[in-house]
Amino acid sequence: MGCDGGTIPTRDELVKLKKKPEKKDKEAELAAKWKHCAITQEPLRSPIVACELGRLYNKESVLEYLLDKTKFESAANFSHIRGLKDVKALNLSDNPAFKKLDNEKGDAYIDTNTSRYICPVVGIEMNGKHKFCFVWSCGCVVSERAIKEIKENVCHKCGAAVTDADIVVLNGTEDDVDEMVMKMDARRLKAKLEKKSKKKKAAESSLSVADEGPSSKQAKLDPQPGTSSSLNGTHPKSKLTNGKKDSKSKLTNNKPEDKLKKDGSIQNDPKASNAFKSLFTTSEAGKKAKTAHWVTMNPLYY
């Protein structure tokens, strides 16, 4: 049993102390945040997107999450992603010093600290040791050091206009996440108000068009009273059109073909000769004759 004179217990054996929490491996934690997707923990591959809270994702993983959220155990942590409009495609700058090894061998040193992307302004690597941000309007990724050194309201990579509300910190601290949540709520509220104002303007424009009606449209086409064209009660274009129609009607009425079409008889054709008219039974000579002349079969003979 012990404590019988033969053993000397120590304080650690007699007093139970609280176990210290296990320390996280900083390098492994940084690699999980900056080199792996936040949803599936798969290695990041282009196209890479980020949410309004600054987390990195594979676009394929986001699509799978939106299609079926029940597949993921930590779906509650990504409830702020309602659709693809809540994520932004990142415009990243490749690191020329990064070398991707297809087949890893045990006889060579593999540098896992080298990042695949860098800041295009300062040149530091995006590996978690330095704070990086991206602009929500254009998706360009730069380091926080570049934003502080070059204080301009312009994107340092593409030159687009930038405000403080558009800057999102990537994989920030708890304080940074709280600030990103406030910016996200303000951004979504602004978009909602703009959408409502557009709908209101569209409804007002449709009502104004409906109130005008056909009378207002006709008034726009008709000339104002008091003009020379409206004094006589006729439109200047109407005179021209009526004159053209009258001249056309005169020409068409004088044509003998129209008379022939109306009467339906060859005897009324002014162009036909008397000899030609006598060949038909509708002529006066044909009506008086009881026998056929040169026609072999004449219905009047029978």
Q: Report domain extents, the chain.
A: 26-99+112-190, 255-291
Q: What is the phi/psi pair of residue 29, to 5°?
A: -65, -40
* Predicted pLDDT at 251: 46
- Average model confidence (pLDDT) across the chain: 77
Residue 177 neighbours by CB under 8 Å, 6+ apart? 53, 54
Residues 255-280 as b or e (16 or more Cβ within 10 Å = b): eeeeebeeeeeeeeeeeeeeeebbee
Binned at pLDDT 50, 70 and 90, residue 301 comes out as low
pLDDT tens digits, 71-81: 888 888 898 99
Supply the pTM of this predicted model: 0.59
What's the one-letter identity of residue 130? Answer: H
Q: 132-172, pLDDT tens digit by residue?
A: 999 998 999 999 988 888 877 888 888 888 888 889 999 98
Residue appearing with tokens 């053993």: 7
Residue ranges in 172-294 assigned as alpha helix (H): 174-221, 228-231, 236-253, 256-263, 274-278, 284-288
Q: How many whole angstroms separate alpha carbon 51 and alpha carbon 62?
A: 10
169 beta partners: 133
Task: Identify which of 75-79, 95-99, 117-121 has the greatest average pLDDT.
Answer: 117-121
Does residue 4 register a pLDDT over 90? no
**Beta strand pairing status for 87-89 and 48-51?**
antiparallel
In the chain, % of residues over pLDDT 70: 69
pLDDT at 211 over 80: no
262 has which bridge partners? Answer: none
| pLDDT, tens digit (0-9, with 9 covering 90-100), for 10-47 | 887 788 777 777 777 777 888 888 999 999 989 999 89
Q: Is the pLDDT of residue 208 over 90?
A: no
Give pLDDT tens digits for 213-271: 555 555 555 555 555 444 444 454 444 445 444 444 444 455 545 554 455 677 777 77
Considering Cα of 226, then 231, then 233, then 236, what sign does the dihedral take? negative
